[in-house]
Amino acid sequence: MTRLTQKTFTGGELSPSLYARNDLAKYSNGLKKLTNGFVRAEGCVSNRAGLELVCEVKDSSKATRIIPFSFNTEQTYIIELGNQYARYIKDGGQIVNNGSPVETVTPYTSSDLFMLKFAQNADVLTICNKNYAARELSRTSHYNWTLSTIVTAPQISAPTGLAAVWTGSVQSKTRNYSYVVTAVKADTYEESESSTAVTTKGHLESAWTTSEYMTLTWNAVTGATEYNIYRSVNGIYGFIGTSTETTFTDDKIEPDMSSTAPISKDPFENSNYPSCVNYFQQRKLFGCLKDAPQTLVTSQTGTDNNFNVSRPLNASDSISIKLSEREVNEIRHMIGLNDLIVLTSGAEWKLNGSDGTFSAASPPLCVPQSYYGSSHVQPVVSGNMILFVQSGGSVVRDLGYEYVSDSYNGDELTIFATHLFENKQVVDMAYSKEPYRILWCVMSDGTVNALTYNKKQEVAGWHQHTTDGQFESVAVIREGFEDVPYFVVKRTINGSTKRFIERMHTRFCDNAKDGFFVDCGLTNEFSTAVQILSGLNHLEGKNVVILADGGVYRSKVESGQVVLDHAAKKITVGLPYTFELETLNIEGENTHGLKKIVVEANIKVEKSREDFTIIGVDGKEEETLRSINSVNDAGYIVTGDIPIYPGANYVKDVSIKVKQPNPLPLTITSISAVVNIEDEATDVQID
């Protein structure tokens, strides 16, 4: 007889191909099954929180995507993108104005939604798709959102009405002098495009006397703090001075040809639209132009949509880079870390100047780091690690800088849980930083594969989540002190297809009555006890589970309501789901093939209701007993040891199986089992 204990579950659910690999370090902290629960970085496992109904999408017959919009930690939104519209959600509720949801018309059809790529700066979200001109979604209030096509030009207008008057002799030795003027924006010092050139005859420089000069005048530009003046030398306009007024005197100033007038440039002309966007070192970057998939272009430093250049190039000018590869691999994502990381369909690149400055005067170095390739699913960043989906769609990798190799390297994160990704692909992805550090991956079969990830602590455990329906999209946004996942879920309600936006409820609860462990659910606390619950039309015809003052009931929604057996005040109603955990086969060093039996076991729990279900190897289910404290107080939760007695015959494959089908909190911190091994004379030890 031997007692074996599993103290941590950070390995998550492992692939069946590893069931005989108890020599692996990950075997000792892995699981055979983990459904609707999640690994916590501390090592324990909890059943997931439920999904609270936010709203039905505008058109349930068409695919819908959700994306985040975050101005700061307090002003955060979820954007519902549907067929040619956008709607907005804040703090779990739809933004409504004058009785109707706030809505913005968009050009994107349902088939375009999951190919949209976006990046945000302050109150402006830039959205790209190669079939549409890049657009900016800007917010001025909760109720005022505007979608406009990007104008690739400086944010300040060029001066108009430029005139040049020569003072002096024009009788002999003359030539034509041409000038342009630019305006400089007051707050950002962004320079406008050049004005229309003006040409006037004057003396040759060699014959220009001290009493002769050229007077330039122009119209004032709103928002300008000063003006730059340029004079032509062989068709190139060199800098000759700056004026804070609308006049300037050229008294034979030698043009500075190292600082020339800006040359207007539009990289997106002729419908050469970009496919992806981001920001890096005070520049806005666009990648994968429709006619140049390996090219990325940047704005001038400190600007968003100014792509002008100079001749010769200044350090702050727009940059255009073409990645040279053996194959034509389109740029799919750009992420700014210490360097700019560019993910293409076939490789991963590092871009930066040799001095760490992203400059036009000395073009950035482009160095390939690896050759895995990336899918179109938008990557996420965890600390200083990039998490991305490989080009085939069924492998998730991380990528980060390694000092030893002075390059960016990473690991395949799905290698120990390949069974969760077989014959399906990741279609959407988002990352919760707090409190649990979970990567949520919506799969093509409508399930969610989630990864608890903490690189420094070597935590990487997968878990699967299911619901009565199909997950289609996910987005995470900060609300209060938590990063909250939102999902688009496709459900069949009373024979009709419905798509709901549902928000994952907080997992924290110190009383079982306050738990929220149902899907598509609603909760309310009434001032007086009620027995009839209405307003459940979104669950018409569904069998639901109810938590009423800590008591668990099951019923069916009819005519939008359910009737409780007993009146209650604090009530939560929704679709049931089951948390399931199964340990790997309990094995010693040389016990494969030997028959075993679990005589008794102990499950250590934290902040949990005591009643959950244990499944024996014979499939028999038995609910654990509740203490007198729990019987007398339905909200009572316990931290401690729960003894169980699975009871079964000797079998070759023995494990501990736990289920929680009820909407009650359950966190397991360790599982300890007393095992007998048939025909085994020596003790068994597990690392």
pLDDT tens digits, 578-622: 999 999 988 766 677 788 888 888 999 999 999 999 998 778 888
How do residues 356-365 score in pLDDT, each as one tens digit? Answer: 889 988 889 9
The tokens of 487 are what? 């999902």
Residue 291 is classified by DSSP as T
Q: What does the domain layout of the chain look like in residue ranges?
A: 2-8+16-24+580-677, 65-151+266-425, 163-260, 518-575
Distance (Å, whole) CA 423 – CA 407: 32
pTM of the full structure: 0.92
Q: Give the rounded percent of residues in the chain with a pLDDT score beyond 90.
A: 79
Q: How many CB atoms lie within 10 A of CB 238?
A: 19
Average pLDDT for 143-165: 95
How do residues 521-551 score in pLDDT, each as one tens digit? Answer: 999 999 999 999 999 999 999 999 999 999 9
CATH topology of domain 65-151+266-425: Methylamine Dehydrogenase; Chain H (2.130.10)
Q: What share of the chain is helix, strand, coil (3-state, %, to 5)?
A: 5, 50, 45
The tokens of 89 are what? 């959600």
pLDDT above 60 (res 378): yes
Average pLDDT for 666-675: 92
How do residues 174-199 score in pLDDT, each as one tens digit? Answer: 899 999 999 999 988 999 999 999 99
Distance (Å, whole) CA 275 – CA 131: 8
**Do 432 and 487 form a contact (C-beta atoms < 8 A)?**
no
The tokens of 280 are what? 């890096």
pLDDT above 90 (res 420): yes
pLDDT above 80 (res 679): no
pLDDT of residue 1: 66
Question: Which residue, 562, 561, 560, is CA-closest to 537?
Answer: 560
CATH topology of domain 2-8+16-24+580-677: Jelly Rolls (2.60.120)
- Where helices occur in 466-597 by DSSP H, the ranges are none
The tokens of 105 are what? 């018309």
- DSSP states of 206-249: GG--TT-EEEEE----TTEEEEEEEEEETTEEEEEEEESSSEEE
How do residues 56-104 score in pLDDT, each as one tens digit? Answer: 999 999 999 999 999 887 899 999 999 999 999 999 999 999 999 999 9
What is the band of 282 on the pLDDT scale with cuts at 50, 70, 90? Answer: very high
Distance (Å, whole) CA 52 – CA 523: 8
For residue 445, what are the CA distances in angstroms to 264, 417, 424, 470, 680?
48, 16, 7, 7, 45
**Do 443 and 465 form a contact (C-beta atoms < 8 A)?**
no
Q: Which residues lie below 8 Å from residue 105, measured CB to CB, with a gap of 6+?
A: 84, 85, 147
Residue 420 is classified by DSSP as G
